[in-house]
């Protein structure tokens, strides 16, 4: 027998037989490992306090003790019981899944990351297993055999990890034969975590800011006015047209609401400048507001109650200013809130009128109840009726454009044709991405639903892979260099996704391209676009 320090002691065959396969432990027995890059920093106490949310304290995700209330288990179970009673859809979605697997491979985080717990069915099971154990007879008696499991602190950590790896994009729901909306399950999961004071800062800080100043970024009225003065100066430099951008104008016909992200950072600011130029050119009697200065609603990612509180500002401001109706800008989740929840949350807005285009006379009957229409619907109507200002498409000839359907306007609202109609009107080069990556099957940017922060960059890039692959395809095949979209979060996050997966493709809003192409009355000879870059052909002159 060889000694341990002699080579013959070791079984070489066994030593070199390294398996790279991951351990096949059942999902219930595989606890979460928090890896930097794939989770978001926790909500700071001061923001929770500002919104009056429970258990405000400073805590760290990677520490063992999350400083929960002593009776946290009771809080969760009572919270669940309450929601099962209040929200019929939640109860239904907990019960009816037959685990057919149709949704399993539809989530961008699963497709790009490969973590099975990001299969929508399994992500929902994280919550469903607790429901079964505590709220169904079978689960109470049979436990694990019936798919139930006890509520432990590891379960809470797992919820935190995975419910903040869902962008509530609802792609999986399109494929579910029962119509289960996994986004709603995530919404419920996040609400339950909220009862323990478990929020992420990138959501709760904007929500608190919005409650305090009217917008996510905490821009105060005088700063906002200052920013728009700068826009006016820039627009004058580009077009020679001097604008007077209306603010808090009482008696205006239309209140315009859009996400504050677009008035703050590139490339969204070019879209915001585009709105100002467009409204000025068609002579619409409209106004911006410093109070309802946010279209987005991070309450959607916090709780039903916070969403309602933040949303209430829009109708309140419309009433105060005495406008007739509201137009909303290019935003993503804002449209899910406006289209699906606003009417019953804070409506009916019977002090407003059914939106009517003052230039074409078109009455937007579909918005009879909410009194709010999308700017693309408004623009498409102008084009259809030949009332759109003249355009010079060649000004966008440096762009080969494709269009990313943002999840919420696409699946939450069903607006597919209008943006394409407008794009084709202002661009000569428009190319669609593959069929299974657009319209109702569109892939998320990987940063929606409050995940668009930088500390979880690794996670976002995984989630952005399916979209990035489609963009790369049209870049290689058709020379696409511009990805247009109508969502402020997309404009911020897809920029990064494209840098990694489809280097060389820039991101823009649709109104930016409209503003480039629009020939305004009395404009000077246009030599630069909204980004201060030379227009095609201008370099040679």
Partner 1 sequence: MQTRRLAYQAHWLSIMLSRTLQLKREAIAQRWLYSVYDSYAPETAKFLKKKKDPFDNPVGARMVASTAGICEQICADELDAEAVCGHLIEIIKVRAVQDMSPSKAMSFVFSLKDAARQELGQEADAALLTEIDRRVDQIALFAFDIYVKCREQMYQLRVNEVKRKVKTIINKFNKENCGVDPEDEPGEDAPLTSTQRGVEL
The reply to whether 22 sits near partner 1 by the rule CB under 8 A is: yes
Closest CB to partner 1 among 161 and 335? Answer: 161
Give residue for tokens 């100043």.
213
The reply to whether 114 sits near partner 1 by the rule CB under 8 A is: yes
User: Which residue, 271, 331, 257, is CA-closest to 512?
Assistant: 271
Closest CB to partner 1 among 192 and 470? Answer: 470
The reply to whether 115 sits near partner 1 by the rule CB under 8 A is: yes
- The DSSP symbol for 27 reads G
Among the listed ranges 33-41, 75-83, 149-157, 399-407, the one in contact with partner 1 (CB under 8 A) is 33-41
The reply to whether 104 sits near partner 1 by the rule CB under 8 A is: yes
Closest CB to partner 1 among 104 and 153? Answer: 104
The reply to whether 20 sits near partner 1 by the rule CB under 8 A is: yes
C-alpha 50/C-alpha 14 separation (Å) is 60
List the interface residues with partner 1, window 262-281 (CB under 8 A). 264-266, 269
Give the CA distances from residue 312 to residues 12, 95, 203, 227, in Å, rounded to whole numbers and listed in that order.
Answer: 70, 33, 18, 25
The reply to whether 103 sits near partner 1 by the rule CB under 8 A is: no
Closest CB to partner 1 among 230 and 539? Answer: 230
The reply to whether 358 sits near partner 1 by the rule CB under 8 A is: no
User: Which residue, 298, 336, 334, 304, is CA-closest to 202?
Assistant: 298
C-alpha 122/C-alpha 55 separation (Å) is 29
Provide the mask over 455-494, with x wherever binding to partner 1 is found by CB under 8 A and - wherever it is not. Answer: x-xx--xx--xx--xx--x------------------x--
Radius of gyration of the chain (CA): 25
The reply to whether 230 sits near partner 1 by the rule CB under 8 A is: yes
C-alpha 327/C-alpha 164 separation (Å) is 31
| Least CB distance to partner 1 at residue 461 (A) | 4
The DSSP result for 96-140, as a single string, is ------TTTT--HHHHHH--GGGSHHHHHHHHHHHHHHHH-HHHH
Among 66, 72, 90, 110, binds partner 1 (CB under 8 A): 110
* Exposed/middle/buried for residue 440 (C-beta within 10 Å: 0-12, 13-18, 19+): middle
The reply to whether 454 sits near partner 1 by the rule CB under 8 A is: yes
Provide the mask over 427-446, with x wherever binding to partner 1 is found by CB under 8 A and - wherever it is not. Answer: -------x-xx---------
Give me the phi and psi of 268, to 5 degrees please.
Answer: -60, -30
User: Which residue, 158, 173, 5, is CA-closest to 76?
Assistant: 158
The reply to whether 119 sits near partner 1 by the rule CB under 8 A is: yes
The reply to whether 231 sits near partner 1 by the rule CB under 8 A is: no
**Residue ranges in contact with partner 1 by CB under 8 A:** 20-22, 24, 35, 37-38, 104-105, 110-116, 119, 230, 264-266, 269, 434, 436-437, 454-455, 457-458, 461-462, 465-466, 469-470, 473, 492, 495-496, 499-501, 503, 532
């Amino acid at each position: 027998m060889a000694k341990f320090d002699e080579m013959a002691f070791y079984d070489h065959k066994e030593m070199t037989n390294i398996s790279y396969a991951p351990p096949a432990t059942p999902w219930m027995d595989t606890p979460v490992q928090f890896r930097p890059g794939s989770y978001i920093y926790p909500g700071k106490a001061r923001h929770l306090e500002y919104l009056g949310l429970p258990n405000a304290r400073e805590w760290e995700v990677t520490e063992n003790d999350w400083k929960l209330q002593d009776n946290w288990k009771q809080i969760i179970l009572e919270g669940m019981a309450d929601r099962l009673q209040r929200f019929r859809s939640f109860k239904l979605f907990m019960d009816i899944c037959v685990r057919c697997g149709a949704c399993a491979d539809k989530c961008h985080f699963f497709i790009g990351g490969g973590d099975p717990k990001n299969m929508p069915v399994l992500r929902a099971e994280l919550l469903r297993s607790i429901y079964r154990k505590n709220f169904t007879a079978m689960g109470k008696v049979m436990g694990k055999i019936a798919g139930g499991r006890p509520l432990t602190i590891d379960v809470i950590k797992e919820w935190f990890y995975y419910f903040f790896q869902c962008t509530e994009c609802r792609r999986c729901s399109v494929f579910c034969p029962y119509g289960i909306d996994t986004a709603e399950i995530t919404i419920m999961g996040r609400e339950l975590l909220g009862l323990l004071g478990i929020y992420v800062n990138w959501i709760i800080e904007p929500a608190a800011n919005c409650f305090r100043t009217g917008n996510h970024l905490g821009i105060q009225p005088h700063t906002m006015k200052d920013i728009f003065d700068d826009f006016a100066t820039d627009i004058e430099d580009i077009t020679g047209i001097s604008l007077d951008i209306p603010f808090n104008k009482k008696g205006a016909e239309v209140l315009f609401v859009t996400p504050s992200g677009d008035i703050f950072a590139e490339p969204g600011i070019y879209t915001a400048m585009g709105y100002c130029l467009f409204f000025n050119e068609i002579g619409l009697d409209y106004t911006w507001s410093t109070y309802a200065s946010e279209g987005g609603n991070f309450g959607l990612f916090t709780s039903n109650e916070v969403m309602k509180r933040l949303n209430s500002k829009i109708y309140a401001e419309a009433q105060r200013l005495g406008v007739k109706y509201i137009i909303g800008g290019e935003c993503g989740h804002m449209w899910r809130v406006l289209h699906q929840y606003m009417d019953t949350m804070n409506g009916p807005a019977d002090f407003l009128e059914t939106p009517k285009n003052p230039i074409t006379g078109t009455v937007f009957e579909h918005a009879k109840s909410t009194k709010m229409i999308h700017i693309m619907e408004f623009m498409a109507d102008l084009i259809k009726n030949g009332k759109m200002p003249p355009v010079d498409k060649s000004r966008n000839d440096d762009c080969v454009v494709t269009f990313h359907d943002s999840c919420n306007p696409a699946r939450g609202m069903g607006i597919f044709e209008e943006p394409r109609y407008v794009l084709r009107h202002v661009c000569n080069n428009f190319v669609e991405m593959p069929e299974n990556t657009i319209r109702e099957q569109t892939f998320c940017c990987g940063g929606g639903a409050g995940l668009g922060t930088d500390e979880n960059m690794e996670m976002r890039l995984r989630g952005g892979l399916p979209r990035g692959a489609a963009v790369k395809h049209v870049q290689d095949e058709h020379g696409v260099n511009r990805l247009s979209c109508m969502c402020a979060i997309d404009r911020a996050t897809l920029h990064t996704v494209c840098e990694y997966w489809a280097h060389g493709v820039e991101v823009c809003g649709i109104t930016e391209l409209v503003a480039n192409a629009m020939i305004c009355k009395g404009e000077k000879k246009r030599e630069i676009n909204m980004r201060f870059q030379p227009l095609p052909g201008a370099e040679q002159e």
